[in-house]
């Protein structure tokens, strides 16, 4: 019988030369690699973060030795913590080769307690959006699945979650996650393992600048995370000027990819729109945005993000009345709108900025 070809996302994540990161492995990988004892139990001990917080988790000597000899169990190192007035903390983490990435911890105490981790998928980004500090860095490299999961584990061990806090994850830190889909998806599978964090894909959002080839691939994957789209302009000329990806896949093509996604019950899109003063913040833009959304105006979310100003871009945040008028115009068209003040503005939270400053 012919062997079924493995799809890229079925393959174990390729790791740097040497031992695989223990954080990239699923229970079945432990089994295939001959780990002593029950694979699910080993996975459980390593990934249940609260066990670490209560002191080292109990792992038998044989398992400990196996992990040390057969795998790389290192985690990204937290170098800096920048707490903000709004309760969020921006962190700088160091990867094993010295590269730095950023992540944000955002607890919410009101209503049901929840914590959101905003994480990175790449060191830098190749997409070159002109308003973005990460874009100004260019791309240095992809993160491996082990580094993505390791980032989450490192954050959780450092800052929570507290017991009872619901965890959500957003790929809205550094990088274009759909440029690194194999590793991002592998990480989503590991994080979703019921013996570990059990973080369902429905609580994970992948944000993209509109890489249509990646959206189409992701649409077919299971488990499938939620999708956020960074629109940031309402006609092709303006979008291509700030987001080079639009020259390859324009707004009409992007809309087609969303129609083909095949929304399932409980799934929602998030549309992000960075408001740039005098560039994309007119009432006509708001009207065109609603028109482009069409039947997606209802049941989905539009996040307006006033430009987070930084030294690597000349764009500015619009005045308050302008932001309000834009939001009102969208709401009048039936959209569900939130204005998202970037968390941690007082610690220069524009993504990539802390790392860029160091460079």
Select from 254, 308, 276 the least CA-distant residue to 134.
308
Residue of the chain from 29, 72, 147, 176 that contacts ligand SF4 (CB under 6 A):
176
Which one of the listed residues 118, 125, 132, 351 is annotated catalytic? 351
Q: Which residue is nearest to ligand SF4 (CB)?
A: 135
Q: What is the spatial distance between Cα 171 and Cα 184, in angstroms, rounded to a whole number? A: 9
Q: How far is CA 359 from CA 45, 138, 140, 320, 356, in A?
A: 37, 12, 12, 33, 5
Q: Does 134 bind ligand SF4 (CB under 6 A)?
A: yes
Residue of the chain from 75, 101, 350, 354 that contacts ligand SAH (CB under 6 A):
350
* Window 218 to 247, contacts with ligand SF4 (CB under 6 A): 230
Q: Does 275 bind ligand SF4 (CB under 6 A)?
A: no
Among this protein's residues, is 102 annotated catalytic?
yes
Nearer to ligand SF4, 305 or 337 (CB): 305
**Residues composing the chain:** 359
Alpha carbons within 13 A on the beta-carbon side of 177: 30
Nearer to ligand SAH, 75 or 211 (CB): 211
Angle at 136 between CA 209 and CA 105, to 5 degrees: 65
Q: What is the spatial distance between Cα 13 and Cα 318, in angstroms, rounded to a whole number? A: 43
Q: Does 305 bind ligand SAH (CB under 6 A)?
A: yes
Binding partner selected for residue 144 from ligand SF4, ligand SAH, none, CB under the kind-specific 5 to 8 Å limit: none
Find the radius of gyration of the CA atoms of the chain. Answer: 21
Which one of the listed residues 102, 147, 195, 317 is annotated catalytic? 102
Cβ neighbours of 28 (radius 10 Å): 12
CB of 88 to ligand SAH, least distance (A): 15
- Residues annotated catalytic, as ranges: 102, 351
Footprint of ligand SAH on this chain (CB under 6 A)?
Answer: 125, 131-132, 172, 176, 207-209, 230, 232, 272, 274, 305, 307-308, 342, 350-351
């Amino acid at each position: 019988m012919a062997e079924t070809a493995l799809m890229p996302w079925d393959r174990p994540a390729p790791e740097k030369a040497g031992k695989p990161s223990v954080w990239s492995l699923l229970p079945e990988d432990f089994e295939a690699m001959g780990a002593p004892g029950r694979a699910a139990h080993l996975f459980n001990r390593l990934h249940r973060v609260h066990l670490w917080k209560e002191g080292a988790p109990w792992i038998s000597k044989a398992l400990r030795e196996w992990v040390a000899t057969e795998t790389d169990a290192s985690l990204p190192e937290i170098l800096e913590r920048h707490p903000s007035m709004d309760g969020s903390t921006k962190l700088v983490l160091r990867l094993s080769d010295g590269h730095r990435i950023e992540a944000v911890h955002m607890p919410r105490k009101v209503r049901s307690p929840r914590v959101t981790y905003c994480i990175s998928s790449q060191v830098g980004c190749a997409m070159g959006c002109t308003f973005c500090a990460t874009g100004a860095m260019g791309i240095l490299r992809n993160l491996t699945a082990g580094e993505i999961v390791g980032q989450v584990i490192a954050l959780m061990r450092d800052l929570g979650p507290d017991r009872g806090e619901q965890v959500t994850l957003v790929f809205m830190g550094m990088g274009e996650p759909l440029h690194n889909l194999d590793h991002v998806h592998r990480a989503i599978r590991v994080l979703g393992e019921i013996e570990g964090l059990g973080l369902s894909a429905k609580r994970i959002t992948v944000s993209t600048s509109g890489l249509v080839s990646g959206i189409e691939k992701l649409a077919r994957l299971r488990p499938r995370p939620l999708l956020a789209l960074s629109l940031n302009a309402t006609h092709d000329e303006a979008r291509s000027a700030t987001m080079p990806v639009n020259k390859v896949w324009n707004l009409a093509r992007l809309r087609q990819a969303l129609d083909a996604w095949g929304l399932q019950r409980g799934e929602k899109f998030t549309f992000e729109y960075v408001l740039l003063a005098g560039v994309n913040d007119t009432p006509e833009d708001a009207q065109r945005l609603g028109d482009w959304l069409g039947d997606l105006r209802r049941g989905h979310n539009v996040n307006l993000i006033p430009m987070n100003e930084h030294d690597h871009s000349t764009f500015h945040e619009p005045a308050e009345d302008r932001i309000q008028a834009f939001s009102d115009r969208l709401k009048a068209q039936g959209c569900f709108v939130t204005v998202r003040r970037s968390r941690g503005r007082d610690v220069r939270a524009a993504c990539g900025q802390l790392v860029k400053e160091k460079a």
